[in-house]
Structures are given as structure tokens and as C-alpha cells.
Structure 1
Amino acid sequence: MHPRIYTDTSVIGGYFDSEFEAASQALFRHFSAGKATLVISDITLLELAPAPERIRQLVDALPSEYVEEVRLTSEAEELADSYISSGVIGASSRADAEHIATATIHRVTVLVSWNLKHIVNLERIHGYNSVNLRLGYPMIEIRTPIEVIEHES
């Protein structure tokens, strides 16, 4: 199975950040080599708009056949509302809820993020998946890039 990896803004921005660059760059090498498809949302593209050009160009530099753009739909907005109303995440972190809902609705293989507070957080992941199952959606895998890349020698 060819993995479809929803990548949030933190991973793309992490490409040039000394703390996150090794794993973020390895993930982008996987996308470039066609080992996985980058799933990027209109939310992420909007968040990247004010970023430096070198960050914005990372996605454009990938072969188009390994990039899938998805949209925040009204269904995903409702699912994000459910995460908030269920207390999984606060209303002030709505964009994070929308990332997770969009990835869920589009049934990606995994969502990757460096946001350890609101996204890659075991208690919250359990909460997101509880809401998903209650509403008839599949569980979502949420990981850091370190956990999804093949380790390079």
C-alpha cells in the first residue's frame, strides 16, 4: 500500500529548523522518491502563505504525482466542532482540530506533525479517535515524522 501522509504546517516549517530538520527533510526525500504521497490541505497552504519563500517552495518542488491537495469540507468542519464540543481540544486550537478532521475525512494513512501539545499527544489522540468512532469515522494514526520515515543509514 502506498502511504498517503497528511503533513501539517509544523513539518514543512520544520524542514529548516535545527530541532526538526533531519526527520522533516527525510520525509520530503520519501515524497520526492515516490515512497509516499504528501497530502496537503488548503488549511496548510493558507498557514504557509506568510512563510518565507524557501518554505513555500518545498511543496512546489515535489513531483506533482506525489502530492494530493485536499480541502476543508463542511463535513470536516462539523467533525472539528465535535472534537471541540467533546472537550478533546479547546476552541482556541480550532485550526489543529480542522487538520485532524480533514485528515480523517480524507482517510489518510497517517497525519504527521511536530505539534506535540495539540496533535501528537496520546491523550488527545485517544479523544480524537473516540469522537471518530462515535460518529462513524475511522480511527486516525497521528505520529511525528520520526515515526513514519524509513531510517536512513
Structure 2
Amino acid sequence: MGNVVYVETSVISYLAARPSRDIIIAGHQQTTQDWWASERTNFSVYASPLVFREASAGDPAAAIARLQCLRDIPLLAITPEAEQLAETLIQRAALPPKAAADGLHIATAAFHRVDFLLTWNCAHIANAIKRPLIEQICRECGFAPPVLCTPDELIGGNRDVE
């Protein structure tokens, strides 16, 4: 089945959240719901135990909704190699120390040769300024980096061009 996608926790959070009054967040929520409904079947979708752990945190009712979204999503193992790559991303300043979990999302996706890491975290993951260094470090450590993108960027890629 086509390309492989790792869904990061922010995607699951937007998918399961009550509609926001903030117009930007509401737009992201709608895009996420559209991607989940119409595009997800075009990909092999995975998460990780870290996504599961993060989705389990916080308000119990919201956590249940997030975990419901993850119920049929297989989890990729967090390996020692991924943990080392995540640490290297922080040591080399591709990510700040407070973004250790974000580094582990990227590293887990890279270790498992995932094609796309789907996220709404544009501060540390889908960030055009940080992307070249993240990709360089992944390659230097022997891993092909996933394409770091938002659901906006991953819609329609598998459709025939008219």
C-alpha cells in the first residue's frame, strides 16, 4: 500500500478535539478531519508508543477520544537507535532540549524508513528553517529523513492529475 505515514500526536489531538473558536485552529481541525476521512486510506498509517502515551495524557474524556482515533493504528517501536538519533538532533541544535519528544517522533519515523511524518507542530517538526539541519543529521546518522509535513501538504498527492 503506497507511502507510509507516521502520525504525530498533534494530528490526533486536532482530529479528536471539540471544534475550536480560533479560526486558524478550526481550519487545522477541518483539514485534519478531511485528511483522515479522504486521504488516510491512501497511506499505511503508523504511530508510536510515544504518540499513544502523549494522547493518553490530560483530560480523561479528551484522552479517550484521542485513543479512539488511534485504536486501529499500528505502533512502531522506539528503538535504541531512534533514541540516539533523537539525542543527536538536540545535541546538534536541530531541536531545543525542551523538544526531546519531538526529536523522538522524528527519529522513530526515520529509523523505520517512514515516508512522511504528519504533524501540526510547526515550531519544532514541520519547520522550514529547522528542516535542512534535521534532514542533514538524519542522513549523517545513516537514516533517510521522513518528509516533515502538515495535513495541508499531504492532501491530493495520490490523485491523478487532470
With the shorter chain as reference, the TM-score category is: 0.7 to 0.9
Question: How many pairs does the alignment contain?
Answer: 145
- Alignment match, 2:23: none
Q: Deviations over 1:20-66 (max 9, x none)?
A: 212111221233xx321211111000001125122221122xxx4xx
Structure 1 residue 150 displacement after superposition: 2.0
Structure 1 residues not aligned, in runs of 5+: none
Q: Are the counterparts in 1 of residues 113 and 145 from structure 2 also a CA contact under 8 Å?
A: no
Misfit runs of 4+, over 6 Å: none
Structure 1 residue 92 displacement after superposition: 1.2
- Alignment match, 1:26: 34
TM-score, L = length of structure 2: 0.82
Q: Over the residues paired in the alignment, what is the CA RMSD in angstroms?
A: 1.8
Structure 2 residues not aligned, in runs of 5+: 20-25
Q: Are the counterparts in 2 of residues 8 and 40 from structure 1 also a CA contact under 8 Å?
A: yes
Q: Are the counterparts in 2 of residues 37 and 68 from structure 1 also a CA contact under 8 Å?
A: no
Alignment of structure 1 residues 1-153 onto 2, 5 Å: 2-15=2-15, 16=17, 17=19, 18-29=26-37, 30-31=39-40, 34-51=41-58, 52=62, 53-60=64-71, 64=72, 67-150=73-156
Q: Are the counterparts in 1 of residues 6 and 116 from structure 2 also a CA contact under 8 Å?
A: yes
TM-score, L = length of structure 1: 0.87
